[in-house]
Amino acid sequence: MSEAPVSTSTLLEESKIRMKSNSGRSYYIDTTALHVPRAGVELISPLKNGMIEDWNAFQAIIDHIYSKHIKSEPSLHPVLMSEAPWNSRAKREKLTELIFEHYNIPAFFLCKTAVLTAFANGRATGLVLDSGATHTTAIPVHDGYVLQQGIVKSPLAGDFISMQCRELFQEMNIDTVPPYMIASKELRRSGPRRTNSLPTCETHVCVIQDFQASVLQVSDSPYDEQVAAQMPTVHYEMPSGYSTDYGAERLRIPEGLFDPSNVKGLSGNTMLGVGHVVTTSIGMCDIDIRPGLYGSVIVTGGNTLLQGFTERLNRELSQKAPPSMRLKLIASNSSIERRFSSWIGGSILASLGTFQQMWISKQEYDEGGKQSVERKCP
């Protein structure tokens, strides 16, 4: 079983090959490789909107997984992959064809991420709120099937928070130099000197992510400037040695997730906050299954690990949910389980004895072709 990583760096110089694809490009893949500074590379993702867009990069990642991690012939093991609930039929069929034709696997299955997340939390029915890097999505699941008509998406997610952090650093004239580019440092509290010779902002994602986890906090009630000013400040030191205290801004930045009107440039925008994403999704489902959805709101995705996120969501949903509904929020305390819940759900599903009859076998593929995925993987 494998899930595609969201990013990889691609090297355009033929003389420095790590993983070469059919396109002639060479790739550096994996977390360790991405955190090493190299000239002539760009950071790319094979995915766009949760669907495979760059098939050469995706295939390079699969090759890397088999050669460096699984270390086994693809023909020896079945493969279970997760997919976005809105994945297109054409992309599903192309993936099925690639897996069977190129890797010659014995069996294959494609399952929606939200269904796997529900299984990971011991549920077959629930409302999965997934807030990752590119989007925040509410996905209703009923008896192990995604209810497509109830899916609600918002672009306000992790990348949005990262953008707000970068704007803050620019206003404060702070350089986000990653640790691996620091040879030595000394503690400084005066404004740091900026240079124009630093790599692009993608190189410094690790710094911004650490800042978000260490400093940012979601307010337990709608943001109020006066209340935020009274909150304790948090001290944070950049890898460069520059350090300062952060006060109201550490509450103001994540507030946009719940109240988009609070964000500069978004006033009057029709984007939904997290609480409204959940209630809108449930409201689009049949009235008979709404109690089951309110009773199992499953929180997943790396962006939900922001301090105070689940507490604020629980408070908002308690106010928005009909009085007759029993609300229950399900959020793992483990960051690993929150970030990789669909992988965990996949490992559970693939180990069930009753699941073994659900695989698309090589024989079924040979007889029915790539269209088999539409019939056997709803």
The domain segmentation of the chain, as residue ranges, is 23-122+339-376, 158-262
Distance CA 266, CA 261 (A): 6
In the predicted structure, residue 189 carries a pLDDT above the cut 60: no
Instruction: Report helix angle 55-64 to 89-103, nearest 10.
Output: 40
pLDDT (tens digit per residue) in 299-308: 999 999 999 9
In the predicted structure, residue 12 carries a pLDDT above the cut 50: no
The arithmetic mean of pLDDT across residues 343-362, rounded, is: 96
| Residue recorded with tokens 């077959």 | 124
pLDDT at 22: 63
In the predicted structure, residue 193 carries a pLDDT above the cut 50: no
pLDDT (tens digit per residue) in 329-345: 999 999 999 999 999 99
pLDDT at 194: 45
pLDDT at 262: 80
Distance CA 158, CA 132 (A): 6
pLDDT at 284: 98
If you average pLDDT over every residue of the chain, what do you get?
Answer: 88
Residue 158: name the closest of 309, 3, 346 by CA: 309
Query: What whole-number percentage of the chain has pLDDT above 70?
Result: 85
In the predicted structure, residue 269 carries a pLDDT above the cut 90: no
CATH number listed for the domain at residues 23-122+339-376? 3.30.420.40
158-262: CATH topology is Actin; Chain A, domain 4 (3.90.640)
pLDDT at 186: 57
In the predicted structure, residue 4 carries a pLDDT above the cut 50: no
In the predicted structure, residue 152 carries a pLDDT above the cut 80: yes
pLDDT at 18: 62
In the predicted structure, residue 354 carries a pLDDT above the cut 70: yes
Q: Worst-scoring range by mean pLDDT, 26-35, 173-182, 213-222, 329-338?
A: 173-182
Residue 43: name the closest of 59, 21, 27 by CA: 27
Evaluate the CA torsion angle 226, 271, 47, 24 in order and state its sign: negative
In the predicted structure, residue 276 carries a pLDDT above the cut 60: yes
The arithmetic mean of pLDDT across residues 138-148, rounded, is: 98
3-state secondary structure the chain: CECCCCCEEEECCCCCCCEECCCCCEEECCHHHHCCCCCCEEEECCEECCEECCHHHHHHHHHHHHHHHHCCCHHHCCEEEEECCCCCHHHHHHHHHHHHHHHCCCEEEEEEHHHHHHHHCCCCCEEEEEECCCCEEEEEEECCEECHHHCEEECCCHHHHHHHHHHHHHHCCCCCCCHHHCCCCCCECCCCCCCCCCCCHHHHHHHHHHHHHHHCECCCCCCCHHHHHHCCCEEEECCCCEEEEECCHHHHHHHHHHCHHHCCCCCCCCCCCHHHHHHHHHHCCCHHHHHHHHCCEEEECHHHHCECHHHHHHHHHHHHCCCCCCCCEECCCCHHHHHCHHHHHHHHHHHCHHHHHHCEEHHHHHHHHHHHHHHHCC
pLDDT at 175: 80
With a CB cutoff of 8 Å and minimum separation 6, the contacts of 374 are 89, 92, 93
pLDDT (tens digit per residue) in 13-32: 333 336 666 667 889 998 88
pLDDT at 306: 97
By the 8 A CB rule, do 312 and 303 touch? Answer: no
Confidence category of residue 43, pLDDT binned at 50, 70, 90:
confident
The tokens for 328 are 């229950």
Q: Which residue has the higher pLDDT, 205 or 279?
A: 279
Position 46, amino acid: P
By the 8 A CB rule, do 56 and 25 touch? Answer: yes
Distance CA 300, CA 319 (A): 21
pLDDT (tens digit per residue) in 74-126: 999 999 999 999 999 999 999 999 999 999 999 999 999 999 999 999 999 99
